[in-house]
Structure 1
Amino acid sequence: MRADARKNRDHLLAAAGTAITEQGVDVSMRDIARRADVGLATLLRHFPTREALLDALLRTSFEVLTAKADTLEKSSSPGDALAAWLRDCVAWTTEFRGAITLMAAALEDTESALHASCVTLRAAGARLLTRAQDVGAARTDIDGADVFALVAALAWLGDQPSLAPRADHLFDVVAGTILTAPGRANPA
């Protein structure tokens, strides 16, 4: 891709990211184009569908979260790595309002442009969970799908105005339920 085309694409993605942060994933393509100070046709030339735009925008974030899991796996204890990664995922899904619904749907839809990225992200979380389980730092009766569902639930809480002030506390409650002290029996 030419440098100017890459710059235009990055500008559109930045505008889309801001719009989604403010209005959620259902923001209109026209609003995104307006925010980017381009015509709708220009936006559609780069991203012919909403899913193509969301795929490009979310894939970058998924790659960052997946890389974060790799870094945490190498630099932190298993329990700390899992807790930090969960917090980052919840923060991201809360920031991109409505993204968690798209992610959950994409996991089930192998034809979705987001499917592969979502599967990779879920696998990163499952890997951190397994590592924590192997040393007795996480309960053994949950799996990667459960971790993803908990991220979704916590993101939903953060997206509810009346519950948002309690989101950090509830994250700590959920994390405390997932994580165990080494050598302590896993809660049932």
Structure 2
Amino acid sequence: MNTVLSVLLLHSFFATPTLSCNQSCFCKTYQTLKVRSTLRGQYKNILQEQKGALISNKKQVGFAGNQFNRSPLRSEVYDVGSGKGYTISSIGQFVIIDLPQIYEINTIKFWVYDRDINLRTFDIKVQVQNSQGLIQLIYEDTVATSITKIKFSDTFVKQILFYDNNGSSLNQYLHFVNLQAYFEF
């Protein structure tokens, strides 16, 4: 039985004429969509250590916690509390995320520290550096809290910069628990 199925499969593979991209409009459309999907990170979060994103100014940024739960680029389960599970930057400093390639994105989410009884607000600016090296301000707020989703026009991005404009309502620090960026329809 398996031999018969194998022979039929091989026959259908070799007997079916293949279309080149010159012959098929569908094939050209498929190739275009495939390239766009790659440039858009397969429509998934591109700010992950496993995908090659990294914090390029790590010496200027503090990391509270152990190696498994201190980076905002992690994809593991979060263990956040007093003194662990987040990234810290001071007033006037950036958290700079370098991407392994240029991606087309239009959405950024960030989660600032909200794990205690205090209602913290953060003064933050978010900028993206496009493929030509130009930096564009996409978000600025003096009372950012908890999880914030930023929508902006489709942009080709090589670097994302989070700027601690004036710390939080409790201290001079900007605390990130998680960062995400992706293309959303």
Whose radius of gyration is greater, 1 or 2? 2
| TM-score, length of structure 1 as denominator length | 0.30
Structure with more helix by fraction: 1
| TM-score, length of structure 2 as denominator length | 0.30
Higher relative contact order (CA 8 A, sep 6+): 2
